[in-house]
Amino acid sequence: MTDNNQTNQQANDPTTSNPHKALSIIRNTEEMQAQFAHMQMLSRSQPIVDWPTREAQLNNLETLLSDNQDSLAKAISADFGHRSVSETQFAELFPSFTGISHAKKHGKSWMKTRRASISPLYLPAHNEIQPQPLGVVGIMVPWNYPLYLAIGPMIDALAAGNRIMIKMSEAAPEFAETFAKKIAHYFSPDMISVVLGEVDIAEAFSKLPFDHLLYTGSTAVGKKIMAAAAPNLTPVTLELGGKSPVIILDDANLEAAVNRVMMGKTLNAGQTCIAPDYVLIQRQYHQRFIELAKEWMQKHYPNIANNPDYSHIINDDQFQRVQGYLEDLPNDVVQPLTDVAADAESRLLPPVVVTNPETDSEVMQNEIFAPVLPLMHYDTLDDAIGFINARPRPLALYIFGDNNRDIDKVRAHTVSGGVCINEVIMHVAQHDLPFGGVGHSGMGAYHGKAGFERLSHMKPVFVQSKLNGLNLLLPPYGELFKKGMALLLK
């Protein structure tokens, strides 16, 4: 499906006579570079994108999702070895649908030129801010939530009136192929093209002179993406990860805290950039936390070896990486939460708690990205805050407790991409909250209005009145000028 307005606009534009054949699915560097040049040319020749055109593209995206929910979920499950369709519905389809609905509801008002305040000294002139499409936006999608982390940035880019090139993760090939074919069916290649391929294609993609490049993935790769974009001065949004901590205050309802932490840690088998990475808790509550976590697992994932609701690890490399972390730890600090052992063949990794690992161990140095949960003890709240602040700023911070003074202290004395209080992860689904990292966990934020503005040029405009006093400030600088300056600088 394509938008009729867009199709007609292209048919009447002489620039579309370019000999390049537009491609919806791209598999090599030459095709990618040619397609980018074609889309960039169109974006420059057609800079105005009205709301009906943008809304039609959002409708196409919504229809794509609605028509293909089962096939998209099955493709994701195939890449993981197993992932519950219900989990994909909850964590990927639902926020995608609500994100589209939110953009359709508010996008028309977001794109309007708006008045900005002006100093009384410049009246009767006035200021305006005029949102404009950037042009061609590049999106690089990770493997852990390949649907939502493609659709989310696409919503913002389309609402802002941009064209899109999107690089799918080579670690989720089944989904990448399925998604590319669906995009080709519902969108003109002049509007959205999907790039498939290995790391070399991803590297070449990141070097294209996009008007904005949004990357979601690891901090290590994020540094390479930023370096690749720098020669073109391509602005980047980096949604990275890191170690998102949980602080459980001494007055917290421990059972409720365990319930939410375990939900966040087992969702997608912990393969979530904002999953709780480690827990800071007072020592006397360690054992009770473990007991409650075991009870929680038995209730929510019974018979985990054959449980259809529990996800597997995406590939052998990721499975072996996490197993290596655990093998390097003393046996007495690893506390299984089930009686089922890890299975390398199926990549099933049941959750475990690690009690007070050394701070230089792999599980405390690297983002875990798996159902492994370190429990670290603290004596005072200042100790917990100091522990967090001594490390790179996290993408998310989770606080459990009822003492508002302590909660406010943690909020005020730590810096993180986002915060949840007595909850985990749910801030990512709030379309009126910007989502993004800080420092090593990323730069820039998107979602909702913040995403629209991130992927727009918010052009400042100064509008002078026919009647104004600025001519009084022109040379030659006589007594009137000097008196005026004396008054202004007083």
CB 187 within 8 A of CB 39: no
Residue 371's contacts (CB-CB under 8 Å, 6 or more residues apart) are 265, 266, 269, 270, 349, 350, 351, 352
CB 92 within 8 A of CB 145: yes
Q: DSSP letters along 256-276, please?
A: HHHHHHHHHHHGGGG--TTS-
420 catalytically annotated? no
Query: What is the sign, positive or negative, of the torsion defined by CA atoms of 128, 133, 137, 139?
Result: positive
Helix (H, G, I), strand (E, B) or coil at 446: strand
Helix and strand tally (H, E) in the chain? 18, 19
- Report whether the peptide linkage leading into residue 460 is cis, meaning its omega lies within 30 degrees of zero: no
Quick one: which of 11, 8, 105 has its CA closest to 55? Answer: 105
Q: CA-to-CA distance for 417 and 426, rounded, in angstroms? A: 13
Chain length of the chain? 490
Quick one: which of 84, 74, 214 has its CA closest to 149? Answer: 214
Q: DSSP letters along 33-60, please?
A: HHHHHHHHHHHHH-----HHHHHHHHHH
Q: CA-to-CA distance for 439 and 437, rounded, in angstroms? A: 7
Quick one: which of 153, 282, 141, 269 has its CA closest to 206? Answer: 141
Among 55, 62, 273, 367, which one carries the catalytic annotation?
273
Among 87, 239, 367, 453, which one carries the catalytic annotation?
239
Q: Pairing mode, if any, of strands 456-463 and 126-133? A: antiparallel
Encoding tokens for residue 84? Answer: 């519950």
Greatest Cα pair distance in the chain: 90
Q: CA-to-CA distance for 398 and 261, rounded, in angstroms? A: 9
CB 239 within 8 A of CB 153: no
Encoding tokens for residue 277? Answer: 């990475």
Buried b (16+ CB within 10 A) or exposed e, 466-480: eeeeeeeeeeeeeee
Encoding tokens for residue 247? Answer: 């602080």
CB 322 within 8 A of CB 349: yes
Q: For residue 189, report the phi and psi dihedrals to the nearest 5 degrees.
A: -65, -15
Which residue numbers are catalytic? Answer: 239, 273
